[in-house]
Amino acid sequence: MSNTGKTLRVHYRGTLDDGTQFDSSYDRGETLEFVCGAHQMIPGFDAAVVDMEVGEKKTVHIPAAEAYGERRDDLVLEFPAAQVPNIEQISVGDKLFLTTPAGQPVPVTVVEVTPEGVKLDANHELAGKDLNFDIELVEVVE
């Protein structure tokens, strides 16, 4: 039976191909709740749980295209120093937020700071990476 449209509670552990763990609901001690097929999760994760049954565990490999997408050079943005408030307080690696014309926040990472300006990367930190998940379907919420 399909889980599409149902609220699911899952435990999961996410790793990169080299084995580096990037996230784990087990470590937080609480399940993740989401509606299957409602675009709340990356496409590959939704596809992995759509036919799972409560108590079932599986391991899936999700290519970058079905995860956070490929890295895009057009999402690396440069701003002249005159347009950057408090530039002297910004460092490489800082996480900042830009705002879209519609007022939506966009997370970015500072990749370069020079006297001329800053370079920001708006790609998701896992963009361009294949992901692996150990998934356990704990509950289908009725």
Closest to 108 (Cα-Cα) out of 84, 77, 72? 77
Chain-centroid distance of CA 113 in Å reads: 25
Assign 43 to helix, strand or coil.
helix
Going residue by residue through the chain (142 aa), what tens digit of pLDDT does each one get? 799 999 999 999 999 999 999 999 999 999 999 999 999 999 999 999 999 999 999 999 999 999 999 999 999 999 999 999 999 999 999 999 999 999 999 999 999 999 999 999 999 999 999 999 999 999 999 7
Strands (E), the chain: 7-16, 21-24, 32-35, 57-62, 76-80, 95-99, 105-114, 117-121, 131-141
Residue-range domains of the chain with CATH: 6-69+126-141 (3.10.50.40), 73-121 (2.40.10.330)
pTM given for the model = 0.84
Residue with token string 């939506």: 104
